[in-house]
Amino acid sequence: MKIAIANDVAMAAEALRRVVASTQEHQVLWIARTGLEAVRMCEGNRPDLILMDLNMPEMDGVEATRLIMEQSPCAILVVTGRPQDNVNQVFRALGAGALDVTATPVLQGQVGGDSELLAKIKTIGKLIRHSAEAPSPRLVQANGERSDGQVTTLVAIGASTGGPSAVAKVLSGWTAPPGCAIVVVQHIDETFASHFAKWLDDQLDMPVRVIAEGDELVAGSVLVAKTNDHLLLDQNYRLGYDAAPRDYVYRPSVDVFFHCVAQHWRGDAIGVLLTGMGRDGGDGLLAMRRAGKTTIAQDQASSAVYGMPRAAAELDAAQQILPLDRIGASLRNRLGAKINNGGESSPNI
């Protein structure tokens, strides 16, 4: 891949250049010292991938990501010092269209920074080239007895690029009705899954928490997948994780969870597929539709990246294709959900 670097710290930019140059597969296309310079350089010489810092002069990485995705869209990986200390900026960047986040190797202060960065670059390369075909999901069932709770309706939401802000937008300003549980599968590294759940909890009027192995569905709550393994729902309505298929580039996979819902969930269910690069979720959404569940996909105009919803549209997997600002209203109309504060609120992003 042709990789660009946007970082105003000379030591950090050089560390990133050396990581890219250490492989035979990639080359550094250019280095920008500010977010504004990155936007301008991307217009004239668009790379396959940008390693984007968050804190830069003239224009920060969040605004640069937003403008690049509007004007010269390409894959963006946020690479910044101590991302765990900049959670709000990280999720604003992910909402603007960045694919993932990792720490700058020279600032990481631990062994393995280079290999972690290269692993993320390799994964993004697979997404860009569409070289990793998804095998049929293997549904490994978790142990446990069936829940005797009162969950009667399941809302399953899948998202990737641009997903954090899209999920917040869909779920903001209302509370799920009695008997309704919401599960979110967002493509995000497990290092940041708990941060994502905490950030989402700050945006919503419903409680949000990550899913532990063996958890049951919880009515009135938003449950978030928390590992790089695939989230499963078994015939006893227990949630769990499985690493297989190991070579599947999308982790956790929306397809795997949607297939579980289609196969095992006997109550009402709504599948929602939001913005994202690649094709994950389309096959699973089709399985849910064939199982008699309600299916919704985000439209092209409102998607940060129209990859996953496009796959669903091409498969005729979505009964409704809606702009982002109408998906939440559609859910409320179907569920009879309570609107809080007199209407739909805007997430703090």
What is the enclosing helix (H) or strand (E) of 41?
helix 35-44
Instruction: Evaluate if residue 266 carries a pLDDT over 80.
Output: yes
Q: 289-310: per-residue pLDDT in tens?
A: 999 999 999 999 999 999 999 9
Q: What is the pTM of this model?
A: 0.82
Tell me how far apart the alpha carbons of residues 260 and 252 are, in angstroms, rounded to a whole number: 13
Instruction: Evaluate if residue 132 carries a pLDDT over 70.
Output: no
Instruction: Evaluate if residue 329 carries a pLDDT over 90.
Output: yes
Q: Are 258 and 157 in contact (CB under 8 A)?
A: no
State the pLDDT at residue 106. 64
Residue indicated by tokens 């105009």: 301
Of the residues 26, 100, 165, 187, which is catalytic? 187
Q: How confident is the model at residue 107 (pLDDT cuts 50, 70, 90)?
A: low
State the pLDDT at residue 189. 86
Instruction: Evaluate if residue 134 carries a pLDDT over 60.
Output: no
Q: Are 52 and 60 in contact (CB under 8 A)?
A: no
Tell me how far apart the alpha carbons of residues 115 and 276 are, in angstroms, rounded to a whole number: 25
The dihedral built from the CA positions of residue 144, 145, 146 and 148, taken in this order, carries a sign that is: negative
Of the residues 48, 242, 280, 283, which is catalytic? 280
Active site residue 187: yes
Tell me how far apart the alpha carbons of residues 17 and 19 are, in angstroms, rounded to a whole number: 6
State the pLDDT at residue 150. 83
Beta carbons within 8 Å of 153's beta carbon, 6+ residues apart = 177, 179, 180, 181, 267, 268, 269, 270, 335
Q: 165-194: per-residue pLDDT in tens?
A: 999 999 999 999 999 999 999 999 888 899
Half-sphere exposure of 169 (CA within 13 A, CB side): 20
Q: 54-96: per-residue pLDDT in tens?
A: 999 999 999 999 999 999 999 999 999 888 888 889 999 998 9
Alpha helices in 130-223 (DSSP H): 163-171, 190-203
Of the residues 48, 100, 160, 283, which is catalytic? 160
Active site residue 280: yes
Which of these ranges, 223-227, 327-331, 336-340, has the smallest mean pLDDT?
A: 336-340
